A and B are shown apart, each in its own frame.
Chain A
């Protein structure tokens, strides 16, 4: 009954590979997000989707392509992985309407690029 789930939990891969991270929420929320937490523990938003529409794109390289097949899913595909992509990626969701849109975070996907 996990609210926001991510797969995989760990991902180790070589430079230049293409990989995907999946996120699902069962909270019935309209909005989903991807955040990146780097080695210095800074947590920054990357993307946000509302009802499958891209709302926020924080100048992330176009090697990163989010896809939202439906409101409950937001996947992140990364092409041509680089060493600097190593980080923990968190998915989150919120109701997205009105005030007080609390965001609920998933457990994170730890990506290591070798």
Chain B
């Protein structure tokens, strides 16, 4: 049911920027793009989200193309602790906005190499 496409895996050298792409060509105008990650054996962790504009927080930057059909999550200086599965999710909002269903795909396994 996931409406996103991500590469299965990526490698990144420690200290370099990690750029994780995501395609969401069927995204609707009012749907947000969310990024979560799951470090081995832990619960998913929220990273960042956006609608149209690029966003930045203390963890990462999110670049959304003008047509909103794809986005890129950027970890500016990857560390070994950033090794995880990264999920790009288009948020489905129903039920009058009282709650939202996150549909997780298979994600991208990012391996940060020393």
Contacts and interface: CB of A to CB of B under 8 A. Distances in A.
Closest 6 CB pairs of A and B: A105-B43, A43-B104, A50-B98, A31-B99, A102-B46, A55-B99
B101 interface: yes
Contacts of B114: none
Interface string B42-62: 111110010000000000000
Interface in B64-114: 85, 87, 95, 97-104, 106
Contacts of B95: 50, 55-56
A98 B41 CA distance: 31
B32 A94 contact: no
Chain B contact residues, majority secondary structure = mixed
Interface of A: 4, 30-31, 33, 41-45, 48, 50, 55-56, 90, 92, 94, 96-108
Contact of A105 (B34, B45, B103, B106): B45
Contacts of A41: 85, 106
Given A90-B44, A106-B43, A107-B43, A101 B99 contact: yes
Contact of B46 (A44, A97, A104, A107): A104
Max chain B C-beta neighbours (<10 A), residue from A41, A43, A106: A43
A99 B99 CA distance: 10
Nearest to A56: B101
Contacts of A45: 101-103
A31 B93 CA distance: 13
21 contacts: A4-B43, A30-B98, A33-B99, A41-B85, A41-B106, A43-B44, A55-B95, A55-B98, A56-B99, A56-B101, A90-B43, A92-B44, A98-B97, A99-B32, A100-B32, A101-B100, A102-B46, A103-B46, A107-B42, A108-B41, A108-B43
A94 B95 CA distance: 14
Max chain B C-beta neighbours (<10 A), residue from A41, A42, A44, A101: A101
